[in-house]
Amino acid sequence: MEKYSPYRTFTKDEWAKLRLNTPMTLTEAEVKELRGVNETISIEEVSNVYLPLTRLINLYITGSQQLHSVSDIFFGKTTKKVPFIIGLAGSVAVGKSTAARIIKALLSKWPNHPKVEIITTDGYLYPNRVLEQRDLMNRKGFPESYNTKALIDTLIQLKSGAKKVQVPVYSHLYYDIIPNEHYVLKQPDIVIVEGINVLQPARMQKKTLPSVFVSDFFDLSIYVDATEEDLLRWYVDRFQKLKKTAFNNPESYFNRYASLNEEEAEAKATEIWNTINKVNLVENIRPTRNRADIILHKEEDHIITKVKLRKI
């Protein structure tokens, strides 16, 4: 049935050939800095997977810029250039943040779009006090735990060419939004919107469907995929490493787990995965996979072995 798929599927070796002569612009030390807590991504994978990917994205952006110029000619006036927006989705623990950082680092080296920014949807979670009031703390990360309207407002501002756009800040240490703290985007060339729920379709609100939703603003979307077995293992491994590092900070929301032994930590991480993250994956995240333009499939050790590209 693959011949009827809306995607073209590439093995890692087939995809690597599409790099052509695109130069490697990151050093091994820079790649190491971009890794996540529990990942061992190599400069070879950056070369074989992410360089062809960013070459393709650059071609898409060049086409978008040319379309903008053609539109200016048609209307007989110069209009504001707006950022090219990339949506990046996938499960908890799949490595979205690392992928976003690598894509940003590579794209920012291209001369026609040096200003690349990342927005993480964590900043659009409702504050913990609101989640507690709504009895949603155990549903944190589910679609209803996000202030989707605020995220859409941010994307509207970006696509309207606003000179300055404020983005809220989330603290993983405190596991909460930092009140009254923002960072400012100043007319970036590219914005990567990274989060587990960014490809969610419209959801019924007060018996009506919203007229717009987050993915309407994406020029390109990417889904990072992996099996449930690998995701669980990565989540548990990451929990074990954080238990020995970040959780030891007395101010950490998860400090209560720092004293667990390895068996207790594995049991707790597995419980959290099975009761929260797996449910969210099955009900909300994975069903959005085939809405993406590009699917990066990972196998053990976070190695991308297959790339699917939606046919045009």
Element (H, E) at 191: strand 190-194
Q: Is a pLDDT exceeding 80 seen at residue 7?
A: yes
At what angle are helices 96-107 and 51-75 packed, to 10 degrees?
A: 60
Of 9-13, 25-29, 255-259, the range with the lowest mean pLDDT is 25-29
Write down the pLDDT at residue 208: 66
Q: Model's pTM, two decimal places? A: 0.94
Q: Is a pLDDT exceeding 80 seen at residue 288?
A: yes
Q: Dig out the tokens for 210 from the structure.
A: 């919203």
**Alpha helices (H) in 87-181, listed in sequence order:** 96-107, 128-133, 148-159
Write down the pLDDT at residue 312: 82
Q: In CATH, what is the architecture of 2-310?
A: 3-Layer(aba) Sandwich (3.40)
Write down the pLDDT at residue 76: 84
Write down the pLDDT at residue 285: 97
- Read off the pLDDT of residues 210-234 as tens digits, 9 standing for 90 and up: 678 899 999 999 999 999 999 999 9
Q: Is a pLDDT exceeding 50 seen at residue 1?
A: no
Write down the pLDDT at residue 251: 95
Write down the pLDDT at residue 203: 67
Give the residue from 236, 14, 225, 216 showing the smallest Cα distance to 99: 225
Greater confidence (283 vs 300) lies with 283
Q: How confident is the model at residue 111 (pLDDT cuts 50, 70, 90)?
A: confident
How high is the mean pLDDT of the chain? 93
Write down the pLDDT at residue 287: 96
- Rounded distance between C-alpha atoms, residue 58 and residue 43, angstroms: 20
Annotate 269-298 with DSSP letters as a single string: HHHHIIIIIHHHIIIIIGGGGGGSSEEEEE
- Rounded distance between C-alpha atoms, residue 259 and residue 29, angstroms: 33
Stretch 102-115: mean pLDDT? 92
Give the residue from 253, 114, 250, 111 showing the smallest Cα distance to 187: 114
Stretch 121-137: mean pLDDT? 97
Stretch 2-24: mean pLDDT? 90
Q: How confident is the model at residue 40 (pLDDT cuts 50, 70, 90)?
A: confident
- Read off the pLDDT of residues 141-190 as tens digits, 9 standing for 90 and up: 999 999 999 999 999 999 999 999 999 999 999 999 999 999 999 999 99
Q: Dig out the tokens for 253 from the structure.
A: 């929301």
**Alpha helices (H) in 117-227, listed in sequence order:** 128-133, 148-159
